[in-house]
């Protein structure tokens, strides 16, 4: 999608601090980190949000979570733990409408979230 910042990152037209990439996803550091490790895992294809995934995209959705698991191992935080968040639409607090999973680690997370 031409006016999507995350599509531009996937295309290499905008820079990012990449930490992981495979056939389906890329992951890069969030520009406003909320934890010592704050990474966004995004599909390489444009899907605006969780509401827009079809049943046929099950593999792509799974790839996002599996990428997070691999990033946790890469950063040696798998055992200490981490938080995965996907914000959806207004009440979810979504501001970028290209699906992304927040990977947060490196400090104690609180519950419930704000
Ligand atoms: P949302 O609020 O949609 O769940 O999360 C969007 C996230 O994307 C925010 O945490 C924000 O800091 C991050 N973000 C927005 N634009 C950019 C960008 O151009 N580069 C990077 N690395 N992060 C971005
Ligand atoms: Zn996009």
Asked if 41 and 71 count as a contact pair (C-beta separation under 8 A), the reply is yes
**pLDDT average, residue stretch 94-107:** 98
Residue given tokens 């040696």 in the structure block: 76
100 part of the active site: yes
The pLDDT of residue 97: 98
Domains of the chain listed by start with CATH number: 5-105 (3.30.428.10)
The pLDDT of residue 36: 98
Q: Using the atom order of ligand 1, give the atom closest to the CA of residue 85.
A: 4
Nearest 5°: the CA angle 24, 29, 35 is 125
Residue 51's pLDDT band (boundaries 50, 70, 90)?
A: very high
How far, in Å, from the CA of 59 to the mean position of ligand 1? 24
The pLDDT of residue 2: 84
The pLDDT of residue 114: 78
């Amino acid at each position: 999608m031409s006016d999507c910042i995350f599509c531009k990152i996937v295309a290499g037209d905008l820079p990012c601090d990449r930490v992981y990439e495979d056939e389906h996803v890329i992951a890069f550091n969030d520009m406003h980190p909320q934890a010592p490790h704050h990474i966004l895992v995004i599909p390489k294809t444009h899907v605006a949000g969780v509401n827009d995934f079809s049943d046929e995209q099950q593999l792509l959705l799974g790839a996002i979570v599996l990428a997070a698991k691999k990033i946790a191992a890469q950063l040696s935080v798998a055992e200490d733990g981490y938080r995965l968040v996907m914000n959806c639409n207004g009440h979810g607090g979504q501001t970028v409408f290209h699906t992304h999973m927040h990977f947060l680690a490196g400090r104690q997370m609180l519950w419930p979230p704000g």
